[in-house]
Chain A
Amino acid sequence: MKVLMFGWEFPPHITGGLGTACFGLTKGLAKHGVEVVFVVPKSFGDESQEGFRLINASDIELDFTQTLTQEFREKISYMEVGSNLVPYVGPEEFERWYTEEILAKKTDIHSVYNRKYAFSGKYGANLMEEVSRYALVALSIADKFEYDVIHAHDWLTYAAGIAAKQISGKPLVVHVHATEFDRSGENVNQVVYDIERSGMEAADRVITVSNLTRQIVIERYGIPAEKVFTVHNAVEPVDKPETDEVTKHVREKIVTFLGRVTYQKGPDYFVEAAHKVLQRDPNVRFVMAGSGDLLNRMIRRVAQLKMGTRFHFTGFLAGAEVDRMFAMSDVYVMPSVSEPFGISPLEAMRTNVPVVISKQSGVAEVLQHALKVDFWDIDALADAIYGILHYDGLRKMFARYGKSEVDSLIWENSALKVLEVYNNATGHKN
């Protein structure tokens, strides 16, 4: 089986969860003997890349260059296409990024994800241009290689995927890591939505990262259920969490929220739950690590609830800081309103931190050793946090089973399911 894959970054230039996922998947596929031609849009100069890497360094778990074995290299062809595309952005962000980062040469890494902060009010003409340009390049690539199936990751590459399908006649698989509804709530960008939908419609098979996303694809995009398949994400196992030397400087237990402080991550529910817990037990500290457009509101709310001495904001954390944050935490909370998958609880569990996650996250579908609550159910959320802090049995259970559960979620298994989808698609086609 040979695959032409339109992805995002490739090691060592990993900037986000999507790149990590693509890489993991590609590696997993290689283990099953699948050959992959991996096409990525080449990013800007080192400076901007560096900027982006900083932003999402939390997702970097591995020294990718080392893990690339010879065998793996043989299976994978790697191509860069001159393009300004970056993953995980909407037009507005791209517009701003483009102007701020590239034209102005300014590095304000925090604001990149603050969509509303620098909202331009226009569609990002540049981004759409890039999408089209990428698609054009895809045409020429599609002609040069031999492959059985085309695999495109997230909406920015769908146009490229469709183009490749048109020229080669090979089946197209699109991989939905997130939808516009996850990114923007109900205020969807129509242009993006249209591109997403046309990609899914043109595709022979659609892969979603969770059943939750699958449901959105079926219901909100009108895609026939029989061609939509769920393949849950996985994580790369790490041998040793390097957190042993981290020392906590406060006596109290620490409950952590780590992620973008935006509507879809549900930070407000975390704040309200913290208030409930603190009313009963003042010997807890809550930490909100991250930044985003709701940050100021959260700070105001914390002040209003008069728990400023127990509730801390760290701002944006990256790299080692993230690891340290996990190492200091007694509970990790992810109250996302909408989360296609959500890799961060797995990272927490890998460092033996018990997690509370919202039922509205894709990762809730694969985790058993986690507390799951509805994101809106502040009482249940507070109760779960309180339970972990006070009832020792939970901590023991999570310590015993959590890590091994995460370690069992390996890409090799997910890749096998993707391979089934390929077989299914090509069989269907032939």
Chain B
Amino acid sequence: MRSVCLYFQVHQPYRLRTYRFFNIGQDHYYYDDYQNRHIIRRVAEKCYLPANRMMLQLINEFGKGFKVSYSISGTALDQFAQYVPEVIDSFRQLAATGCVEFISETEYHSLASLGNEKEFIRQVETHTKRIEELFGQKPQTFRNSELIYSDVIGEMAANMGFHTMLTEGAKHVLGWKSPNYIYCNNLNPKLRVLLRNFRLSDDVSFRFSEQNWSEWPLTAEKFVGWLNAMDPQEEVVNLFLDYETIGEHQLKESGIFDFFYHLPSTVFAKSNFTFATPEELYQRLQPMAALSVPYAISWADEERDLTAWKGNELQAEALSKLYSLSDAIAEIKDPVLKRDWGYLQSSNHFYYMSTKWFSAGEIHKHFNPYGSPYDAFINYMNVISDFAIRVEASLLPAVTGSKPEKSKTAGKALKKTSVVKTKAAEKKIKAGKLKAEVKEKKAAKPKAAVKGTKAEKPKAEVKEKKAAKPKAAVKGTKAEKPKAGVKEKKAAKPKAAVKGTKAVKPKA
């Protein structure tokens, strides 16, 4: 029994609003509500709702014959809930038929699988749980953002308990092999790998309405003809598409709805294919071979690699800035910060920074709210700069609370470096002030701190004993060249302390 495996990705990112550098530290809302609402409603109206209606109708028509599977990103679910909750209802209706499999992915459609394992696992677990709660089925199949896959990523998925994973049938990985069989992971053979038949998938998703394509117009009949022309040994055709193909990328007027509407009946009438979900394929078929994918692949562009998200210096810097916050985030409980952390990870933000579309790529421009990758980069970096400040700030009181002693010494060390031979009374007052300041300006700015100390050149000597934040302390001492001995007893937060000295002009 040969199968067509129809899988759709449903994803919308939270697009960022125009966020200028002078908003940094002042304005912590990052999202373009108007645009997000507008787009999600438009796509719901043109695609999600009518397409879901059609799928439901097909399922009802063919009983258990017609199967389809979806992955819905957490950011899409959030936006549905926010702007068009009826979309969730219609997916639940589909779930209730038993003919629809919901597949797990990263909650935020992120690139966390590329070197941030903990975050990746956390996101997948969150999403899996959420899907189970929403649709009443625990996902057994995993697909990574943009179908990104490598041996290692597959192994991670297997370790999380998934038995099947979807990815691209990339030519450079397959070589002579066919995507129309089931393979298994090279490191953990328990994980099945389903490969996207990119020719047939792209015929529908990209070329469907291209009038100068030699096969235009594409009908269900013609498509089934291609299925029949395949090697009879081949077991499965994986059609993995953006759900937005139906009605958004390919307009209704192109006949895309008619194509899908007639596909099942034509498949049943004119071929020996049936429809299957990844789960059913797992139950039914055995893997042909192990697939070796040492370097990550994806479903993007001709190269099927990561260059659309990690291809240039802009993307590299943005990603490294983002994930440099991972450790700090792990200690944070604040749900708003956690939410922002997630939303800022959506792969789309990095896709917008791709310079690949300079040469080719109408597809890259689709849904891209920016005029140029440089604009996208600057905007994102402004946002992430503000976010980093908030993360830092929210960590400070937590640290003081849990480890008061440590923080005290940290303050001491720093203060020593900065506050110089002033009268004791003055010091006390200042220390008090500084404390207050710290609380206000949770967002410490190390740069400014260093600057401050640079500006004055106090000549007091400093003795350090301990420093919780040695880096900052060292910086401080470097900048000023202290000469006279100072002993401090109390100190406020390091940065603020340094800053505070700006106002005072110490004289040794």
A→B interface (CB under 8 Å) = 276-277, 279-280, 283, 368-372, 379-380, 382-384, 386-387, 390-394, 396-397, 400-401
Q: Is the CB of A382 within 8 A of B21?
A: yes
B30 to chain A, nearest CB (A): 15
Contact B22 A279 (CB under 8 A): yes
The residue that A384 contacts in the complex, of B315, B358, B378, B385, with Cβ under 8 A, is B378
The verdict on B371 contacting chain A, using a C-beta distance below 8 Å, is yes
Query: Across the interface, do A383 and B371 meet the contact criterion of CB distance under 8 Å?
Result: no
**Complex: how many Å from CA A280 to CA B24?**
9
Write the chain B residue with the least CB distance to A359: B371
Given A393-B318, A397-B312: A368 and B377 interface contact (C-beta under 8 Å): no
Q: Which residue of B lies closest to A401 (CB)?
A: B355
B426 part of interface (Cβ distance < 8 Å):
no
| B316 interfacial contact with A, CB 8 Å | yes
- Tell me the nearest residue of chain B to A371, going by C-beta: B374
Q: Across the interface, do B377 and A394 meet the contact criterion of CB distance under 8 Å?
A: yes
For residue A392, which residue of chain B has the nearest CB? B317
> Residue on A with the closest CB to B19?
A383
A273 → chain B closest CB, angstroms: 11
Contacts of A369 in B (CB 8 A): 374
Known A-B contacts A394-B314, A397-B313, A400-B313; A379 and B371 likewise in contact (beta carbons under 8 Å): no
Other-chain residue from A368, A383, A393 in contact with B313 (beta carbon distance below 8 A): A393
A370 contacts across to B, CB distance below 8 A = 374
A-B contact pairs, 5 of them (CB 8 A): A280-B22, A371-B372, A383-B379, A393-B313, A397-B314
Please state if A394 and B312 are interface contacts (CB–CB under 8 Å). no
Distance (whole angstroms) from the CB of A397 to the closest CB of chain B: 5
Contact A368 B22 (CB under 8 A): no
Docked-complex contact B381 and A391, CB < 8 angstroms? yes
Q: 8 Å CB contacts to A: which residues of B279-333?
A: 312-318
How many Å from the CB of A349 to the closest CB on chain B?
13
If over half of B's interface residues share one DSSP class (helix, strand or loop), that class is named, otherwise mixed; here it is helix
Nearest chain-B residue to A283 (Cβ)?
B451
| B317 lies within 8 A of A383 (CB) | no
Known contacts A382-B21, A391-B317; A397/B355 CB under 8 A: yes
Give 5 nearest A-B pairs by CB, closest first: A393-B317, A387-B378, A396-B313, A386-B21, A393-B314
Decide if A394 touches B378 in the complex (CB within 8 Å).
Answer: yes
Measured CB to CB, the nearest residue on chain A to B20 is A383
Known contacts A383-B379, A387-B21, A394-B314; can you find 10 more A-B pairs with CB under 8 A?
A277-B21, A283-B451, A368-B372, A372-B371, A387-B377, A390-B381, A391-B377, A392-B317, A394-B378, A397-B374
Please tell me if the beta carbons of B20 and A391 are within 8 angstroms of each other in the complex.
no
By the criterion of a CB under 8 Å from any partner CB, how many residues of chain B are at the interface?
24
Q: Is B375 an interface residue (CB 8 A)?
A: yes
Which residues of B from 438 to 456 have beta carbons under 8 Å from A? 451
Whether A391 touches B378, Cβ cut-off 8 Å, given contacts A368-B358, A397-B314, A400-B313, is yes
Point out the residue from B20, B312, B315 that lies within 8 Å of A379, measured CB to CB. Answer: B20
The answer for the CA separation of A369 and B314 in the assembled complex, in Å, is 12
B345 at the interface (CB under 8 A from A): no
User: Taking the complex as formed, is B266 at the interface, i.e. its CB lies under 8 A from any CB of chain A?
Assistant: no
Q: Interface residues, chain B, CB within 8 Å of chain A?
A: 20-22, 24, 312-318, 355, 358, 371-372, 374-375, 377-379, 381-382, 385, 451
Residues from chain A with a CB closer than 8 A to the CB of B378 are 371, 383-384, 386-387, 391, 394
Bound-state Cα–Cα, A396 to B317, Å = 10
Given A383-B378, A391-B377, A394-B374, is A276 in contact with B22 using a C-beta cutoff of 8 Å? Answer: yes
Q: How far is the CB of A307 from chain B (nearest CB, A)?
A: 15
Q: Which residues of B contact A372 (CB under 8 A)?
A: 371-372
Residues of chain A within 8 A (CB-CB) of B314 are 393-394, 397
> How close is A272's CB to chain B, nearest CB, in angstroms?
13
Question: What residue in chain A is nearest B374 (Cβ atoms)?
Answer: A371
Residues of A within 8 A of B318 (CB): 393
The answer for the CA separation of A371 and B371 in the assembled complex, in Å, is: 10
Contacts of A400 in B (CB 8 A): 313
A253 to B213, CA, bound (A): 52
A387 touches B381 (CB 8 A): yes
Cα-based distance from A372 to B315 in the complex (angstroms) = 19
- Complex: chain A residue closest to B385, CB-CB: A390
A199–B393 alpha-carbon span in the complex (Å): 66
Residues of A contacting B355 with CB < 8 Å?
368, 397, 401
Within the complex, the shortest CB–CB distance from B266 to chain A, in Å, comes to 45
**What CA separation (Å) do A372 and B317 show in the bound complex?**
21
Closest residue to A400 on the B side, CB-wise?
Answer: B313
Are B382 and A383 closer than 8 Å at their CB atoms? yes
A residues near B24, Cβ cutoff 8 Å? 280
Q: In the docked arrangement, what's the CA distance between A380 and B317, Å?
A: 21
Pick the contact of B21: A280, A392, A393 (CB < 8 A): A280
A residues in contact with B371, CB < 8 Å: 372
Closest to A386 in B: B21
- Please give the distance in Å from A35's CB to the nearest CB on chain B: 36
A393/B377 in contact, CB under 8 A: yes
B384 nearest CB neighbor, chain A only: A391
Known: A393-B377, A394-B377. A382 touches B22 (CB 8 A): yes
Contacts of B385 in A (CB 8 A): 390
- What is the bound-complex CA distance between A390 and B312, given in angstroms? 17
Smallest CB gap from B381: residue in A: A391
Q: Chain A residues near B316: list those with CB within 8 A.
A: 393
Q: Across the interface, name the chain A residue whose C-beta is closest to B316.
A: A393
Nearest-Cβ distance from residue A376 to partner chain B, whole angstroms: 15
Q: How far is the CA of A386 from the CA of B21 in the complex (A)?
A: 7
Per the bound structure, the CA–CA distance linking A283 and B372 in Å amounts to 28
Query: A89–B491 Cα gap in the complex (Å)?
Result: 68
Task: Determine the distance from Cα of A224 to Cα of B287 in the docked complex, in whole angstroms.
Answer: 66
- Bound-state CA distance A107–B385 (Å) is 52
Q: How far is the CA of A60 from the CA of B381 in the complex (A)?
A: 38
Of chain B, the residue at the smallest CB distance from A399 is B313
Query: Which A residues are in CB contact (< 8 Å) with B21?
Result: 277, 280, 382-383, 386-387, 390
Chain B residue numbers with a CB within 8 Å of A386 are: 21, 378
Q: Which residues of B contact A394 (CB under 8 A)?
A: 314, 374, 377-378
Distance between Cα atoms of A225 and B212 in the complex (Å): 28
Q: What residues of B have a CB within 8 angstroms of the CB of A382 in the complex?
A: 20-22
In the complex, chain A residues whose CB is within 8 Å of the CB of B374:
369-371, 387, 394, 397
Residues on the A chain within 8 Å of B375, using CB: 371
Whole-angstrom CA separation of A219 from B371 in the bound complex:
26
Minimal beta-carbon separation of A145 from chain B (angstroms): 44
CB distance from A247 to the nearest CB of B (A): 21
Give the Cβ gap from A280 to chain B, nearest Cβ, in Å.
6
Hey, which chain B residues are within 8 Å of A396, CB to CB?
313, 317
Nearest CB in chain A to that of B24: its residue? A280
Chain A residues positioned under 8 Å from B381 (CB to CB): 387, 390-391, 393
Chain A residues in 8 Å Cβ range of B382: 383, 387
CA distance A403 to B318 in the complex (A): 23
Considering residues B22, B371, B379, B382, which has the most beta carbons from chain A within 10 angstroms of its beta carbon? B22
Interface centre among A283, A372, A387, A401 (most CB of B within 10 A): A387
The CB with the most chain B CB atoms within 10 A, among A279, A370, A379, is that of: A379
